[in-house]
């Protein structure tokens, strides 16, 4: 979408004008490319609903974007390609190495960063459209009708909000600014007043498009709202915010499509708007948080129950890799619960090795994958499939996984914390309370692999670590799993 919006920023003549007369062969080709692009976007999204077809979905969507870009480059409104080519080269030079180098764990901030650029493009198209409409060309001022004025105002409001909001989200996740919520008294009332003034100005602009002050008020307030609305949201909720901003960027792109009469932007923007919104809802549901709670709740600012009570009283028990390997080698059923730490350690390949060894010894291995494990939706599914772990071994429904855990011999928690915190069920004062979680303590034995006593993303202590049947194996996940693999192999050699 960002690519398309950027390309349109370089087209001086609105697409609608070129469609005013009879369609030329070139127009037919452009519209055909747009139709193909729209179909491929829809097919891509459909394929992405099944993990086994996710790769195909990405390819379909990428081809869709290729059609959309080619169609746009064939546009008769383009007078010169010089700046477009310069922009494409510059964008590719920055974007390609960035995308190749980014670690999976930094993906949320990378997505936020690229949203910001897409939104800059959409906002600039809006500003250019507005300025052109009221510029005298050969003694004629094109003007703007009410519908287009609304579309341009809407595009600029949501685009500007997404620009600054995405940069804020990036700053928080990259720890350039504090990830903690920044709050002040009356903040929600302040933000709601700003939203009301922005909507009122949008109303004035729609009623009388010549009111330039209304247009620039919408633009300015959009930029300001992006900052003020993201300030009170904690780093832990940023992926939900990014997904919501994604939805806003889609709406802005769709409005751009209406403003310049471009079908592919209308369709792709609507798909992105709806997709981002649905994803935000799914994520907040998996964390048992309402949208209002995420946007206005300042999650992450409350001290943990354990911190309030002066820290955990019991010390966790530990187990050596050698003893843990023996138990795993003779277990009939093992459930692995991976979390953010597995992604940080890039331990998925070693995990598959361990999995295969246990299976070879006759044990059954399954994975409990929580919807918000890691730092983005599907984070663990992606890294496990990258390591070649069969999708059939993954339990992605929390209730199903909890049923399997009840009869498991060993539950192995690898770099997960919040998603296995019993306080989510037992402590009403915990910020995690109400979030559906896995219950690994119902298995006979629980091994927890983590580097030390660090908390999870929510910053709260985890009483699982001091339960009677929990044993800690401290260390980097990749190193610990490597040791377990070595010990199981040594067992074989010893017999
Ligand atoms: P988590 O609660 O963040 O816990 C990760 C644990 O991994 C930490 O306690 C850390 O402990 C350990 N760790 C870090 N690096 C490690 C390494 N190299 N080796 C071994 N262990 C390591 O992770 P989670 O259980 O996956 O929960 C995800 C959290 O993110 C939830 O609170 C969820 O709500 C939030 N969130 C997720 C999404 C999403 O879309 N997935 C979106 C928004 C929010 P040590 O420091 O002691 O090693």
Token pair in block for residue 469: 């049947």
Tokens representing residue 282 in the block: 């799914």
Q: What is the DSSP string of 237-289?
A: GHHHHHHHHHHHHHHHHHHHHHHHT-HHHHHHHHHHHHHHHHHHHHHHHHTT-
Q: How far is the CA of 92 from the centre of ligand 1 (A)?
A: 33
Q: Which of 237, 397, 399, 418 is catalytic?
A: 418
Q: What percent of the chain has pLDDT over 90?
A: 56
* Backbone CA torsion sign across 206, 210, 214, 218: positive
Active site annotation includes 409: no
The mean pLDDT value for 272-276 works out to 90
Using a 6 Å cutoff on CB, does residue 444 contact ligand 1? no
Unique residue bearing structure tokens 């546009």: 75
**202 pocket-lining for ligand 1 (C-beta < 6 Å):** no
User: Which DSSP state fits 407?
Assistant: T
Instruction: Map out the domains of the chain with their CATH numbers.
Output: 4-24+76-296 (no CATH), 308-494 (3.40.50.1220)
pLDDT value, residue 462: 95
Q: List % helix, strand, coil for the chain (3-state, nearest 5).
A: 65, 5, 30
From CA 104, how far away is CA 109, in angstroms rounded?
A: 10
Share of residues in the chain with pLDDT > 70 (%): 91
Question: Ligand 1: does its nearest atom lie under 6 Å from the Cβ of 454?
Answer: yes
| Distance of alpha carbon 291 from alpha carbon 424, whole angstroms | 19
Q: What is the mean pLDDT of residues 234-249?
A: 82
- The residues near 152 (Cβ < 8 Å, ≥ 6 apart) are 126, 129, 130, 144, 215, 255, 259
Q: Which of 172, 137, 154, 139 lies closest to 12 in space, CA to CA?
A: 137
Segment holding 411, helix H or strand E: strand 410-414
Q: How far apart are CA 431 and CA 294, in angstroms?
A: 12
What's the mean pLDDT when you consider all of the chain?
A: 87
The answer, yes or no, to whether any atom of ligand 1 lies below 6 A from the CB of 478, is no
Choice between 377 and 352, residue whose per-residue pLDDT is larger: 352
Q: What is the pLDDT of residue 3?
A: 52
Q: What is the pLDDT of residue 55?
A: 87
Residue 134 has φ and ψ, to the nearest 5°, of -115, 25
């Amino acid at each position: 979408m960002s690519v398309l919006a950027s390309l349109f920023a370089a087209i001086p003549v609105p697409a609608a004008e070129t469609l005013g007369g009879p369609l030329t062969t070139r127009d037919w080709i452009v519209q055909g490319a747009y139709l193909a692009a729209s179909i491929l976007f829809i097919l891509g999204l459909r394929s992405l609903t099944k993990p086994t077809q996710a790769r195909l979905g990405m390819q379909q969507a990428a081809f869709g974007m290729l059609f959309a870009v080619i169609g746009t480059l064939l546009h008769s409104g383009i007078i010169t390609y010089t700046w477009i080519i310069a922009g494409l080269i510059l964008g590719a030079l920055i974007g390609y190495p960035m995308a190749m180098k980014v670690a999976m764990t930094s993906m949320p901030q990378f997505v936020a960063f690229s949203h910001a650029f897409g939104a800059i493009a959409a906002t600039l198209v809006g500003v250019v459209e507005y300025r052109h409409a009221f510029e005298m060309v050969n003694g004629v001022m094109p003007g703007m009708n009410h519908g287009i004025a609304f579309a341009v105002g809407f595009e600029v409001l949501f685009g500007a909000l997404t620009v600054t909001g995405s940069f804020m989200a990036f700053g928080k996740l990259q720890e350039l600014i504090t990830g903690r919520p920044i709050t002040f008294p009356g903040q929600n009332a302040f933000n709601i007043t700003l939203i009301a003034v922005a909507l009122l100005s949008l109303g004035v602009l729609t009623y009388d498009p010549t009111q330039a002050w209304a247009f620039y008020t919408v633009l300015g307030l959009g930029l300001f709202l992006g900052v003020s609305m993201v300030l009170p949201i904690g780093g832990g909720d940023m992926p939900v915010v990014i997904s919501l901003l994604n939805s806003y960027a889609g709406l802005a792109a769709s409005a751009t499509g209406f403003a310049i009469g471009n079908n592919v932007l209308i369709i792709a923007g609507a798909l992105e708007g709806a997709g981002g919104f649905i994803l935000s809802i799914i994520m907040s549901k998996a964390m048992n948080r309402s949208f209002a709670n995420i946007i206005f709740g300042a999650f992450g600012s409350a001290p943990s129950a354990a911190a309030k009570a002066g820290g955990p009283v019991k010390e966790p028990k530990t187990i050596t890799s050698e003893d843990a390997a023996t138990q795993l080698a003779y277990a009939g059923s093992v459930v692995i619960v991976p979390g953010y730490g597995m992604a940080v350690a890039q331990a998925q390949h070693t995990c598959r090795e361990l999995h295969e060894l246990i299976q070879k010894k006759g044990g059954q291995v399954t994975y409990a994958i929580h919807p918000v494990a890691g730092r983005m939706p599907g984070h663990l599914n992606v890294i496990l499939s990258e390591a070649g772990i069969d999708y059939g071994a993954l339990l992605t429904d929390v209730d199903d996984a909890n049923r399997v855990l009840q009869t498991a011999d060993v539950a192995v928690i690898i770099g997960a914390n919040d998603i296995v915190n019993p306080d989510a069920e037992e402590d009403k004062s915990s910020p995690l309370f109400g979030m559906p979680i896995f219950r690994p303590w119902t298995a006979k034995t629980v091994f927890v692999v983590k580097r030390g006593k660090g908390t999870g993303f929510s910053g709260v202590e985890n009483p699982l670590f001091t339960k009677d049947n929990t044993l800690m194996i401290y260390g980097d996940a990749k190193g610990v799993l490597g040791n377990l693999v070595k010990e199981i192999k040594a067992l074989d050699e010893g017999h």
